[in-house]
Amino acid sequence: MLKRTTLDNGLTVVYEQIPNVRSVAIGFWVACGSRNETINEQGSSHLIEHMLFKGTKQRSARQIAESIDAVGGHLNAFTTKEYTCYYVKILDQHLRLGLQLLADMVINPLFSPEELEKEKNVVLEEVRMYEDTPDELIYDLFTQALLKDHPLGHPILGTPESILQIKREDLLQYKERYYTPANSCLAIAGNVESAQIIEECNSFWRNLPGNYTPEVNQPVHTVGTTCLRKKDTEQVHLCVGVPGFHRQHQDRYPLLVLNNILGGSSSSRLFQELREERGLVYSTGAYYAAFRDTGLFSIYAGTSLKNFPAVISLIRKELENLKENPVPLEELNRAKEQIKGNLWLSLENTTNRMSRLAKSELFYGRFVSPDEVMERVEKVTTEDLIRVSRGLFQSDLLTLTALGPFKEKEQETYLQGWDN
């Protein structure tokens, strides 16, 4: 049973009662991520996420960790380009502790100057670790190449320069600006009772302060480009992609199906062609991310420098194929069934159910049911796939980014498969 209520301070609470489980997942979601940051604020959203674990007026960082470990729970957080989430998964009998702990972290953080300096160093190590993970780093490079100076192109972690210059006062002002009832929500899924949720939430979350002023979307300008970055790696890691659709766009469902057909599984076209048939890659896949006002569609592959031209040529060939030739009905139905299976199986987890509630509230202001999603997916036709492919996979929109042991004087040789 799904329910929605608003607390006295304006904070929206969405919750789902699942009586046949013993756990409850609680998440505080705020519509604030790296896209909200100015050039000088890069990394602030992520650094605040770290600092909320470093102690409150009532609890030290150690006490926060011990209070969850003592009841066998799990406490964590993550930052994305458009939102930040703090969540706890705990036995239903400890619901009160979970709500109280999250509220304390969000409303009463200390932001100790000493802890802030230590945490900056922790984040700098995280940035270095990310630089040493090329199959993840390439997605950031692709986003930056495609979106240029738009805030969505900023790295979520920030840069070493931006992180070091952030001051305590900057973080406090940033948090005050975005961590408000009107710009956030509380989502709960598990074995809970309505009366208990309303009572406990009003008790612990009524002191979340602030008024939020919605921001004006910045226009997104994208043009296809090619970027080869030299890095001493064994493989070349590459992304080929285009601007996708924003999360309200009617064609996001055909693109979701295309994503599945191209690189959604081991039976997808690219996996079969690049790995199973030709042995050119170990890992390949497709990825679609929808944002408030734009989207990103990308294809990833990791290959040797020798095979790089062949891989990008085959990727481009497959994109052209989708523009000209209808997807067989059997393949289309298989993609739809896979999307359906992935969606329903993911909802057997209370944390995923909680996440779905929160995203529906933050992004759409209403609950988007799995049945509604599948109804839209089922309506996708082969004609839709050709139309969307022709609109998206245009040569002047295609962006190629690659990270690997390139030699500067041989760039034309590497790109032979791309220019043809």
pLDDT, tens digit (0-9, with 9 covering 90-100), for 361-417: 999 999 999 999 999 999 999 999 999 999 999 998 999 999 999 998 777 788 877
Beta-bridge partners for 379: none
Candidates 49, 82, 115, 318; catalytic one: 49
With CA atoms as reference, report the closest residue to 297 among 260, 328, 269. 260
The predicted pLDDT at position 302 comes to 98
Residue 218 lies in a domain: no
* Same domain as 235, residue 199: no
pLDDT of amino acid 219: 66
- Based on the fold, state whether residues 171 and 241 are members of the same structural domain: no
Same domain, 175 and 313: no
**Which pLDDT value is given to residue 158?**
96
| 198, 79: one domain | yes
Residue 220 is assigned to a structural domain of this protein: no
What pLDDT, on a 0 to 100 scale, did the predictor assign at position 378?
A: 98
**Does residue 197 lie within any of the structural domains?**
yes
Q: How many domains does one find in the chain?
A: 2
Residues 177 and 243 in one domain: no
Average confidence (pLDDT) over 286-314: 96
Instruction: Indicate if 131 and 265 belong to the same structural domain.
Output: no
Same domain, 76 and 193: yes
Instruction: Specify if 191 maps to a domain.
Output: yes
pLDDT per residue as tens digits for the range 327-360: 999 999 999 999 999 999 999 999 999 999 999 9
Chain length of the chain: 420
In terms of domains, do 96 and 130 share one? yes
Averaged pLDDT, 280-299: 96
* Domain harbouring 60, CATH code: 3.30.830.10
Please provide the average confidence, as pLDDT, over all residues in the chain: 95
Kindly indicate the confidence band of residue 419, based on its pLDDT and cuts at 50, 70 and 90: low
198 within some domain: yes
Identify whether residues 49 and 176 lie together within a single domain: yes
For residues 247 and 387, state if they share a domain: yes
Structural domain containing residue 152 = 2-205
pLDDT for res 401:
96
Q: Reply yes or no on whether the pLDDT at 236 is more than 70.
A: yes
Asked which of 151, 176, 205 is the last residue of a domain, the reply is: 205
Q: What is the mean pLDDT of residues 253-272?
A: 97
How far is it, in rounded angstroms, from Cα 130 to Cα 46?
A: 14
Q: Are residues 23 and 147 in the same domain?
A: yes
Does 356 reside within a domain? yes
Cβ partners under 8 Å of residue 396, min gap 6: 223, 224
pLDDT band at 309 (very low <50, low <70, confident <90, very high): very high
Q: What is the pLDDT of residue 289?
A: 96
pLDDT at 178: 96
For the residues 71-80, what does the mean pLDDT come to?
Answer: 98
The partner residues of 161 in beta bridges, in order of sequence, read none
> Domain check: are 406 and 356 in the same one?
yes
Instruction: Tell me which of 205, 240, 266 is where a domain ends.
Output: 205
Q: Give whole-number Cα distances, 270 to 225, 244, 256, 310, in Å.
A: 22, 19, 16, 13
Question: Within a domain: residue 362?
Answer: yes
Distance CA 335, CA 256 (A): 9
Percent residues over pLDDT 70 in the chain: 99
Q: Could you tell me the pLDDT band of residue 95, with boundaries at 50, 70 and 90? A: very high
348 found inside a domain = yes
Q: Has 49 been annotated as catalytic?
A: yes
Beta bridge partners of 404: 230
Instruction: With a cut of 60, say whether residue 420 has pLDDT above it.
Output: no
